[in-house]
Chains A and B, each alone.
Chain A
Amino acid sequence: MTSAGFQALLPLVVLAIGATILMLQIAWARNPRVTATLATLTLVLAGLSCRLAAEHAPLQVTPLLLADHLALMFCALFCLAGAVTALLAQDYISRGDEPEEFFLLLVLATIGACVLAYAVHLASLLLGLELLSISLYTLIAYPNKSILPLEAAVKYLVLSGAASATVLFGFALLYAATGALGFSALGEGLGDSTTGQSILLPAAVMIFAGLGFKLSVVPFHLWTPDVYEGAPSPVSGFLASVAKAAVFVALLRLFLDADLFRYRILVEITGLLAIFSMLAGNLLALLQSNIKRMLAYSSIAHIGYLMIVFMVCINGANRALAVEAASFYLIAYTATTIAAFGLLTLISSDPSGRENVQLQDISGLFWREPLLACLMLTALLSLAGIPLTAGFIAKFYLVNAAVAGHNWVLLFSLVIGSAIGIYYYLRVIYYMTRRPEEHGADFSLTRNLRGRILSGILIASILLLGVAPQSLMQYLRAILH
């Protein structure tokens, strides 16, 4: 590998070295504080190193990885999200025994997500996917003394394993038809080969089913609420944001590089899945009284909104706008989701070991903890797509892309879904504003300076993306056009 190639992979290298150091440090002397600090440092450094790596972008490093600006931007996003998760989780996870490996696993999961962002080859896609998933199984089960995380982890392990196997089968079929594994070679092979057409559909269905499972697209969503509910809150946040964004980026890249938009039937399947996800996700979220389950269904709906971009991409002229919209949406969605689960983490960090995630638990939060309530308020408004928040600009992007592509049915589903969504987001806000005489919540929160600073940063970033998104817009436009 050349030195330029090495530099282009700097984020991965930093993460890998960091993971090794963490392992050695844990073996040497257990100290949760040191481990957490090292992990955060690694993730932040890896995020910053994306800037250095961008000097040579775009650069193909080995047939497996392509270090272009898009990959590096998402790497930076995943590393920062990982760092925030590590900071948020510190108090939450330290109440159990031996919390050190949690941070190691978090770094490993982030490597998996970053590899997915780089992937232009089915092998690297699978490697990233498995690295991410296997770390997540353990992360979900990490609070080893309680039954709920264990149940969630086993559920996720079995189903996710099956999904990975299905994806692998799909890849094998593609390989059999074309003899290629690289995304663009695959696309050319499909065009040339005569058997390609007949094998493409079964292969695509398998890959959709597997990746759709990881993205929790309806009808592959059934695991989502249970796993989100059972997993520790910081992990749910990571799972909902980084894990999904990484898989989405990889899927989008597969479609773009192999030019699968040629096959209209495939794209129409994504459109159909999008509509199902938007409607089912929002409708089912209405019924939840557990905030984590509610956010799980809402994440299903959001992935549905995102899937709109596939239909927009059919017309080559709109493709750049669609990818731009998807990128902005993923960034906004990641920040918002981390913020929403961050609040749940912060209010569940008390030593009692109970997760305060029922609607009842956040009753009157505005009067008890104004800053934390503002964090949740910002996150919910952003998820609902109310102006001045990141979520609104993201939705605005999607609407523009869909209007440019004349996808009226999808737009209509988006409007209906969002209108339904307002109800359950507002309900949480209403609970938070209940007056002291109306709420019965009794737990007290420990004063936590780190949590407060993080809340401030998350609120500021969501509002900044909503009020002054122009520099990010310019950057996205510059790297995608």
Chain B
Amino acid sequence: MNMIVLIVILLVGGMLAWQFEKLNPNLPRWTALATVTAALLFLLATVPAEPIQLMTEPGQAGPWLAHLKLAWMPRFGISLELAMDGLSLLLLVLTLALGLIAIASSWSEIDFKPGLFQANLLWTLAGVCGVFLAVDMFLFFLFWEVMLIPMYLLIAIWGHENKSYAAMKFFIFTQASGLLMLLAIVVLAWQGMAVSGQLSFSYFDLLGVSLDSRLGWLTMLGFFLAFTVKLPAFPFHTWLPDAHTQAPTAGSVLLAGILLKTGAYGLLRFCIPLFPELSMQFAPVAMGLGAAGVIYGAVLAFAQTDFKRLVAYSSVSHMGFVLLGLYAWNQLALQGAVMQMVAHGVSTAALFMLAGALQHRLHTRDMGRMGGLWHQAPRMGACAMFFAVASLGLPGLGNFVAEFLVLLGLFAVHPWLTVIAALGLITAAIYSLWLMQQAFQGHPDEQREMADFDVREMAAMAAMIVALIWLGLYPQPVLDLAQPVLDSLQAITRGDSAAAALATTGGRL
């Protein structure tokens, strides 16, 4: 029940924020802040300490922490089925924490209909939480699509000069690939019916359904496309620079910090475990796309003059590591991919917040018109330096741990791809330092008057700095949280029946 309450808190908070706008234009921000804080505290307070016990083999625990199943559309075997394990929990905490950052970053930026803005922000968060919790494939698809609408509105209403194009492109890319996934889900469910005689959309019932090879390939590709468009992987990334650049700051923070992770989550939770053999055959292609993304994103990032576009392309590069880690599918690489999801979420959110703050003050994102900002705004400069080096993978910070683990795991599978991907670390250094040089160093423009970060912004930055240092120096808690999930997923793909039964018991309770 707790999981539904979590989503309802966010939905209701959105409604309230929208309506409170009529009372006082400042009220929606506080409402949103209170809502997300409440949701975060509620989540942390109600996390079950113990995993759900097995019914069949007492004494051993599966990875699932909570499970809920309510009848919904029995006609199609669709139920309101939510489940939480360590991975979901980790991503939920990331989602809500970055939600707070997004609210903080939009605090003084939004003048037009602030209530509706905060409402859309909260509804996006609700949709993302649903994606991380749903284990009924129909429900998952529903959240996957529904979270696009508030995000579309965020870009289309509060975006920058080219918002109509960017919002449209974002929506069409994700929606069209989503339709393919819907098709794949339905095919899988009907195939499951041919085997078990009962139509069901539950993840637990569909695990292990095998398709004949041609149909299986197409179905797997349906999932893969939907998730890699969202990730985004090369060559499906073209919506990303536009959407990130045109979105309002909070929108960019949500997009880069959280929405991209839903793609990685989908691959990890659904695409690979549902099609273990085909995924293994497909892995070289997927890893090739990942390595191409790492290099291509980095090269394009270096070519940008727009601050936000540069960060957006760096996301393509970083998410390439996630794809590599996922398809290498060994313990180290998977740990690295999960770490990268968290660390990239934090570091990129911070960079987008910086970009937003600069645009708010300078009314430009063009780095050619920046330069020497460090002298005028030393706090901003220091923060930018920190996150730039985090992004390039400085040892001691979260991103380094993530990328190092991915490369380590990948080396066991595919040494040559590792060599190529490792080049990404060098190119990351080039574009990150280029960004610093262009925007913050050099001779200051004397005519410019700009305010440095205030207390609110520094608080948000400090929180993210602490998070990245913590992830870099002591990543073990994150890895511990995700480990049982990764173990059970790996067990499923090994076809280890005992372990697979262990993993699926959550669904049979």
- Residues of A at under 8 Å CB distance from B? 367, 381, 386-388, 392, 396, 399-400, 403-404, 411, 415, 418-419, 422-423, 426-427, 429-430, 433, 435, 469-470, 473-474, 477
Contacts and interface: CB of A to CB of B under 8 A. Distances in A.
Interface string B339-369: 0000000000000000000000000000000
A399 to B, nearest CB: 5
A381 B179 CA distance: 14
B182 A403 contact: no
Nearest to A395: B182
A388 B164 CA distance: 24
A386 B145 contact: yes
Contacts of A367: 113
B73 A469 contact: yes
Given A386-B146, A400-B186, A470-B75, A426 B179 contact: no
A386 to B, nearest CB: 6
Contacts of B172: 419, 422-423, 426
Instruction: For the complex of A and B, list the 6 residue pairs with the smallest distance between their C-beta atoms, beginning with the closest.
Output: A419-B176, A473-B75, A387-B142, A415-B179, A403-B186, A387-B145
Contacts of B167: 426, 430
B180 A415 contact: yes
Contacts of A474: 74-75
A433 B153 contact: yes
A470 B72 contact: yes
Contacts of A470: 72-75
B448 to A, nearest CB: 27
B183 A418 contact: no
Nearest to B145: A387
A392 to B, nearest CB: 8
B168 interface: yes
A473 B73 contact: yes
Nearest to A470: B73
B167 to A, nearest CB: 7
B141 interface: yes
A422 B175 contact: yes
B141 A387 contact: yes
Residue in A381, A433, A474 with the greatest tally of chain B CB atoms within 10 Å: A433
Given A386-B149, A388-B142, A403-B187, A433 B179 contact: no
Contacts of B74: 470, 474
Contact-residue bracket for chain B: 20 to 34
B157 interface: yes
Contacts of A477: 75
Contacts of B141: 387
A423 B74 CA distance: 33
Contacts of A435: 112, 157
Interface in B143-157: 145-146, 149, 152-153, 156-157
A419 B149 CA distance: 15
B190 interface: yes
A472 to B, nearest CB: 10
A418 to B, nearest CB: 6
A430 B180 CA distance: 25
Contact of B76 (A400, A423, A427): A400
A415 B176 contact: yes
A392 B190 CA distance: 19
Contacts, number: 73
Contacts of A404: 190
A430 B156 contact: yes
Contacts of A433: 153, 156-157
Contact of B183 (A381, A388, A403): A403
B171 interface: yes
Interface in B104-148: 112-113, 138, 141-142, 145-146
Nearest to A474: B75
Given A381-B149, A386-B145, A418 B168 contact: no
Contacts of A392: 145
14 contacts: A367-B113, A386-B146, A387-B141, A396-B76, A399-B182, A399-B186, A400-B76, A400-B190, A403-B186, A415-B180, A419-B172, A422-B172, A426-B171, A470-B73
Nearest to B76: A400
A309 to B, nearest CB: 15
B240 to A, nearest CB: 18
Contacts of B175: 386, 419, 422
B279 to A, nearest CB: 22
A283 to B, nearest CB: 15
B22 to A, nearest CB: 11
A470 B75 CA distance: 7
A392 B179 CA distance: 11
A476 to B, nearest CB: 8
Contacts of A396: 76, 138, 182, 186
Interface in B174-214: 175-176, 179-180, 182-183, 186-187, 190
Contacts of A400: 76, 186, 190
Given A423-B168, A435-B112, A403 B179 contact: no
Interface string B68-99: 00001111100000000000000000000000
Contact of B168 (A387, A403, A426, A473): A426
B457 to A, nearest CB: 26
A469 B146 CA distance: 17
Nearest to B146: A387
A403 B215 CA distance: 11
Nearest to B72: A470
Contact of A430 (B112, B146, B168, B176): B168
A415 B183 contact: yes
Contacts of B142: 387-388
B124 to A, nearest CB: 15
A386 B182 CA distance: 12
Contacts of A429: 152, 156
A197 to B, nearest CB: 35
A128 to B, nearest CB: 31
A470 to B, nearest CB: 5
B183 A399 contact: yes
Contacts of B72: 470
A346 to B, nearest CB: 22
A260 B146 CA distance: 40
Nearest to A473: B75
Contacts of B76: 396, 400, 473
